[in-house]
Structure 1
Amino acid sequence: MAIQGIFTIDTGFVRPRFDAAYLVVQDGHGAFIDCGTNHSVPALLKALAEADLSASQVDWLILTHVHLDHAGGAGELMAQLPNARLVVHPRGARHMIDPSQLWAGAMAVYGEEVMEKAYGRLRPVPQARVVEAPDGHVVDLHGRSLRCIDTPGHAKHHMALYDSRANVCFTGDTFGLSYREFDTDNGPFILPTTTPVQFDPDALHDSINRLLKLKPAAMYLTHFGRVEDVERLAIKLHEMIDAMVDVARHNADATDRHAQLTQGLTELYAARTAKHGWRGDRDELLHWLGTDIELNAQGLGVWLDRERG
């Protein structure tokens, strides 16, 4: 079901309700925001059909950033969209034109077998179809303005989109993660993502505040879906960023630093979800957040090393 012309698409990456892309429809024209992986392309094309659009009616694919769960399928999707152009932060454009560095970096972490299975081979996007979007750039979707907002903190090449007609933001990873499995009577639970390698807590605080000043009615997160009550969630995000930084600094000199960071984040999330009214046990917490805990611990470690120079 669409809200103000916005369709939420489950890309199917990792598990249901983990990774979203969005389709914005205006007067017979469409724009995708993020796209998941190569394996997500059939779901995106199916969403087009459900919105009564053809592939030729898509004007734009807009990427919040080029991490592979958001942008890995960009080249494959663009090959199916004959009239679309790809919009990306200036720092990310070269990686869409030549994704070899993205592939090499991810493969060094995960290995080729996992990369092939999880993402598929990255397909380049022709340079002529790539539009670099500096801060304030406006994407015109048949008279509907989608404004690009530079939002570093999760990544230096991150931007969010502000849809003034719907008064909502598409936030990528800037406004954190909020999985529906943790919803309670107190609303959504939210936490920041500090995945490697460009986490910057000060920049992330500033980016969250910048989005909040727009007074949006809702945020559309890649992980996962539409959330409202944005002022409360922003307060929780700020608190959690500081708490995660405290965990990192407390364990900065530990000989088994990564293990301690992982344990510290697990304890932090267990305490905060319980306070939020979630009644799952530790095994269930790790089922839903285990991957995020591992990646967040890695990212905090990289941040600690960079802080030390």
Structure 2
Amino acid sequence: MSAAVPATVDYPNAITCIDTEQVRPGQACCYLIGGGDQYAFVDCGTSLSVPGIKAVLAARGIGLGQIAYVMPTHVHLDHAGGAGLLMRECPNAKLVVHPRGAKHLIDPTALIAGATGVYGPEKMAAMYGEIVPIEASRVIVADDGFQLDLGGRELRFIDAPGHARHHYAIWDAQSRGWFAGDTFGLSYRVFDGPNGATLLPTTTPVQFEPEAWLQTLDRFLAADPAWMYLTHYGRVGNVPQLAADLRGDLAMYQSIALHLADVPDRHARIVEALTLHALEELAAMAAPVSDDTARDWLAFDLELNAQGLGVWLDKQQRTATA
């Protein structure tokens, strides 16, 4: 029985957003980019996302052999967990990966162990499925400034730390947009209201680095982008304003974490403070959702954000006492 075709959104310049059907519709996606008779994926969801991705290709008459590249922005499993299985299905594809991430996709033992340690084996399998290794001969390492020709379409890769050190972003000259992974935050379309989109940072464990993140944002803006393509979720415009909002949120996140650094129930207090901050921002943007709905949508993200801030706080304290 063939998989159902997941939700898609077609943007101009041969860019298709494909829902990777993680947790709920509208929460995570990947992008199919067309270039001449070649295609590439930016991010690919988990192994559980691959049947749906194949169904999209089949519905559009695109052969698996036409996929030239699979390009995970970083190796977190919601972005790259399905890379090995997708590569196995696409015989001509090369994997394009950040230098710090290549070894983890060639040999995913550490990724599997880390996620299993967090979620346990049953939940790990239910969330991410099988993590398939990728042959080293099929891997292209994208250093800062690396350029790729996709059927006549110029793609440029930059090192994009802040969310993770194994993160790159891709500049697509044709659409004047950045495929930003998690380095332009998350912005769910269910929250879009009359005042536009709302962004939240993604400060997940373990490599939140706010100073590096601000430099990444500077590099984004230097290209004068028209669009940002987010994995969570879809395309957003109004880039300078959203970048300013994200800078403000990054500062607020650090302030919240530092203020609560020494309370006994630090993690729970940070989670609730981040939640209240998000609800205030959604109200200011007249987001068309109730507080209960917003809490439901954001609970998983804000739990991870609080964990990441906790790791960052611990590093700050170790540095201060060294």
Contact 2:192 2:288 in 1 (8 A): no
Q: Secondary structure at the match of 1:220?
A: strand
Within the candidate set 16, 32, 37, 1:28 is matched to: 37
The equivalent residue for 1:140 is 149
Q: Is it true that 1:127 corresponds to 2:127 in the alignment?
A: no
Matches within 5 A, 1:155-304: 155-304=164-313
Any idea what the Cα deviations from partners look like across 1:99-141, whole Å, max 9, x if unmatched? Answer: 0100101111110000101101210000000111100101211
How far, CA to CA, are the matches of 1:23 and 1:284 in structure 2? 30
Runs of 4+ in 1 over 4 A off after TM superposition: none
**TM-score, normalising length from structure 2?**
0.94
Task: Tell me by how many angstroms 1:165 deviates.
Answer: 1.4
How far, CA to CA, are the matches of 2:127 and 2:240 in structure 1? 35
How far, CA to CA, are the matches of 1:208 and 1:176 in structure 2? 11
Contact 2:96 2:140 in 1 (8 A): yes
Any idea what the Cα deviations from partners look like across 1:76-117, whole Å, max 9, x if unmatched? Answer: 000000000000000000000000100101111110000101
How far, CA to CA, are the matches of 2:53 and 2:151 in structure 1? 20
Task: Tell me by how many angstroms 1:51 deviates.
Answer: 3.6
Contact 2:187 2:197 in 1 (8 A): yes
One-letter amino acid of the structure 1 residue matched with residue 254 of structure 2: V
Q: Is it true that 1:86 corresponds to 2:92 in the alignment?
A: no
Any idea what the Cα deviations from partners look like across 1:259-282, whole Å, max 9, x if unmatched? Answer: 110111111111111111125333
The equivalent residue for 2:158 is 149
Q: Secondary structure at the match of 2:89?
A: coil
**Which moves more between the two structures, 103-112 or 280-289?**
280-289
The equivalent residue for 1:48 is 57
Any idea what the Cα deviations from partners look like across 1:14-48, whole Å, max 9, x if unmatched? Answer: 11011110000011110011000001001211222
Q: How many residues align?
A: 309
How far, CA to CA, are the matches of 2:301 and 2:83 in structure 1? 23
How far, CA to CA, are the matches of 1:15 and 1:209 in structure 2? 32
How far, CA to CA, are the matches of 2:63 and 2:288 in structure 1? 44
Identity %: 49
How far, CA to CA, are the matches of 1:279 and 1:44 in structure 2? 30
How far, CA to CA, are the matches of 1:264 and 1:102 in structure 2? 30
How far, CA to CA, are the matches of 1:90 and 1:126 in structure 2? 15
One-letter amino acid of the structure 2 residue matched with residue 40 of structure 1: S
The equivalent residue for 1:107 is 116
Contact 1:148 1:160 in 2 (8 A): yes
Within the candidate set 22, 25, 34, 1:16 is matched to: 25
Task: Tell me by how many angstroms 1:2 deviates.
Answer: 4.0
One-letter amino acid of the structure 2 residue matched with residue 158 of structure 1: H
How far, CA to CA, are the matches of 1:67 and 1:170 in structure 2? 16
How far, CA to CA, are the matches of 2:87 and 2:297 in structure 1? 32
Task: Tell me by how many angstroms 1:181 deviates.
Answer: 1.0
Contact 1:266 1:293 in 2 (8 A): yes
One-letter amino acid of the structure 2 residue matched with residue 27 of structure 1: G
Q: Secondary structure at the match of 1:79?
A: helix
Contact 1:28 1:53 in 2 (8 A): no
**TM-score, normalising length from structure 1?**
0.98
